[in-house]
Structure 1
């Protein structure tokens, strides 16, 4: 494992000139997305991918887009909290963290947690100029711990997926989670 500090990373929007061919995070779906789909999805204005580089090495990437969540799908306790604040819309705006991956050579450097913190702080900053209440993520089940650490919650109907994953673990299983960035 190569030791690096998050502050030494350079974060750049994915462009045509970037070489992403050597990235290997250990997850086929994430590798395939970066190499085969990320540029097309950016060109089609579906999402935007950012690269995290150390010197000239690609150490991580994340992809995000606009999203919304239907309040009827969140945990009752959270619905009640929002209603107490006078927020009772059918849907609320969100920022979706679509993908996040760290190259295997750089696992153990806290890059994943630091990127989640960057997304949260960026969402909080964005919420000062646009309507933004939540961050959503479709987390790989084996990476759920990362989002649990930052108090993301599973949508109630996701429990079935988690049970299925525990019976038959597969790397592509995901669960949908959310974080109310303004909840105290």
Structure 2
């Protein structure tokens, strides 16, 4: 398997993860997000087959978006002089695995790889958290992969904002 960054010249013939919105994004929207510098999309391929993809964009974890007890826990991990009203994050904007590669644990392997890649990367911008607006049905997957919810309930009935502290990988 190979990790490839989507470019304007990348040809994606087909993809079906079972979710119309996620399929539509990779087939029709990902290149526009790239050209407008909204998100970078990465493909995991197996030969000619698109196994999975994920999109990354900038984000923040803010006091206004977190439950009080969650915010207190997050702030405790920073020295007092570094207490801010928000902290930098990278958002996992989209994450989908082809139906042909389901039920073999590849989703967790990709998530582990992504977290380590971000943890070890020397990028141009620092961040502390990995966030995701998880579909309600995907919350158990993200919880198994170390993500926590920012708020117990949100206005959006379809998703929950979740976060992963990238520095927790330093303990591994």
Give the TM-score band, short-chain normalised. 0.7 to 0.9
Task: Report the CA distance shift for 1:77/1:91 in structure 2 as closer, same or farther (over 3 A).
Answer: closer
Is the aligned partner of 1:159 residue 2:153?
yes
In the alignment, structure 2 segments of 5+ residues that lack a partner are none
Equivalent of 1:146, from 141, 149, 153?
A: 141
Q: Partner of 1:63: helix, strand, or coil?
A: strand
Runs of 4+ in 1 over 2 A off after TM superposition: 15-19, 71-74, 126-131
CA, structure 1 residues 24+82, in 2 after alignment: closer, same or farther (shift >3 Å)?
same
Distance 1:127 1:72, change over 3 A: farther
Deviation string 1:144-182 (CA, Å, 9 cap, x unpaired) is 1121012211112x52458x5xxxxxxxx2211011222
1:39 CA displacement: 0.3
Task: Name the residue aligned to 2:3.
Answer: 11
Q: Is the 8 A contact 2:39 2:57 kept in 1?
A: yes
Q: Is the 8 A contact 1:71 1:79 kept in 2?
A: no
| C-alpha distance after superposition, 1:17-43 (max 9, x if no partner) | 433232000000100111111001101
Matching of residue 48 in structure 1 with residue 40 in structure 2: yes
TM-score, length basis structure 2: 0.85
One of 14, 18, 21 as aligned partner of 1:26:
18
- List gaps (5 residues or longer) in structure 1: 1-8, 165-172
Give the C-alpha shift of residue 127 in structure 1.
6.8
- Aligned alpha-carbon RMSD (Å): 2.2
Which residue does the alignment assign to 2:57? 65
CA positional deviation for 1:65: 1.1
Aligned to 1:159, the other structure's residue is in SS state coil
- Go from structure 1 to structure 2 and tell me whether the alpha carbon gap of 1:127 and 1:160 turns closer, same or farther (over 3 Å shift): same
Q: With structure 1 as the length reference, what TM-score do the two structures score?
A: 0.80
- Greater shift, 74-83 or 107-116, is seen at 74-83
> Against the structure 1 CA distance between its residues 128 and 14, is the aligned structure 2 distance closer, same or farther, given a 3 Å change threshold?
closer
Establish whether residue 174 from structure 1 lines up as the match of residue 166 from structure 2.
Answer: no
How many equivalent pairs are there? 165
Check the 8 A contact 2:63/2:71 in 1, yes or no: no
Are the aligned partners of 2:75 and 2:83 in contact in 1 as well (CA < 8 Å)? no
Give how far 1:119 is off. 2.0
Distance 1:127-1:21 versus aligned 2 partners, 3 A rule: same
